[in-house]
Amino acid sequence: MNSRIQIVFFVVTFATILSPTIAKLSSNYYDEICPQALPIIKSVVKQAIIREPRMGASLLRLHFHDCFVNGCDGSILLDDTPTFIGEKTAIPNINSLRGFEVVDQIKAAVDKACKRPIISCADILAIAARDSVAILGGHKYWYQVLLGRRDSRFASRDAANINLPPAFFNFSQLIANFQSQGLNLKDLVVLSGGHTIGFSRCTNFRSRIFNDTNINTNFAANLQKTCPRIGGDDNLAPFDSTPSRVDTKYYKALLHKKGLLHSDQELFKGDGSQSDRLVQLYSKHSHAFAYDFGVSMIKMGNIKPLTGKNGEIRCNCRKVNQI
């Protein structure tokens, strides 16, 4: 057994020990029923990222925001219906979530190849997030996704507003939020590293650049040109200096008080805390970040999955199946 296989086996085994719900899922779930499913997903994701590198971050974010609201069940993809208001218009999601068309393309391509709806929308999000990270960061960021989730038949805007951590949260609020999902401080620091790619809207960081004291003054001044006190809510700024590459620049920025969001900089305050030590570790050791990111993504990706006869396999990721 070569070293790469040993590492992947250990990551999956370790994450399984941490989260008993993972025992219901399997890394080879689609190997027999539709072995071409995962290669097709990777191909569609890769083409989407080639067209627009920012799409990798958008697909990763969809998976995060799905899992933090009633588990990883594909509910974030549901449009509003007469019986519920979905998650797309929740405050953390409205005018910012992207990538729904790519998910539609993946679903259509996989269902065509498999000759019927085989793969769940929830699993598509988990796989697309992993593939995005590996495409933009290289093979060391690849991790084994556990599969077999089913899709929910319900979504809740209220639940999204309650459970998704906003950009203004302080450290204790972030910890409490992650703990409510069965995640710990290390998961918080390493999963926040997902901000190694992508951009954020002015409305999310305006308060930080005008009011925070734990911020590099030149950094704040430059951002104020993009994000004035009034107007420009949808203007974008990158989370770090390499928004299309998964690397450790995000953590390096925190060391210099250049975290874009208030919640980002809360991870490093220079007081020697455990969070500080993790930020320092990941800023220097990309392999440590890559390995721990995989462990925490597996753990997060298996928050309250629907399995067995629960839920359904949607024919259209945007709507529940007609009964």
Binding residues: 66, 69, 71, 73, 75, 87, 165, 195-196, 240, 242, 247
For the chain, counts of helices (H) and of strands (E):
14, 2
Catalytic residues: 65
To which residue do tokens 């218009």 refer?
89
Q: Which two tokens stand for residue 166?
A: 């906003």
Alpha-helical regions (H) of 19-156 = 37-51, 55-67, 100-114, 121-137
Within 13 Å of residue 154, how many CA atoms lie on the same side as its CB?
9
Supply the Cα-derived Rg of the chain in whole angstroms: 19
Binding-site positions for substrate read 165
What residues contact residue 307 under an 8 Å CB cut-off, 6+ apart? 24, 25, 148, 149, 150
To which residue do tokens 């918080």 refer?
188
Binding-site positions for Ca(2+) read 66, 69, 71, 73, 75, 87, 196, 240, 242, 247
Q: Which two tokens stand for residue 280?
A: 């320092």
Binding-site positions for heme b read 195
Closest CA to 102 of 136, 55, 137: 55
CA dihedral angle for residue 311, residue 317, residue 318, residue 319, rounded to 10 degrees: -40
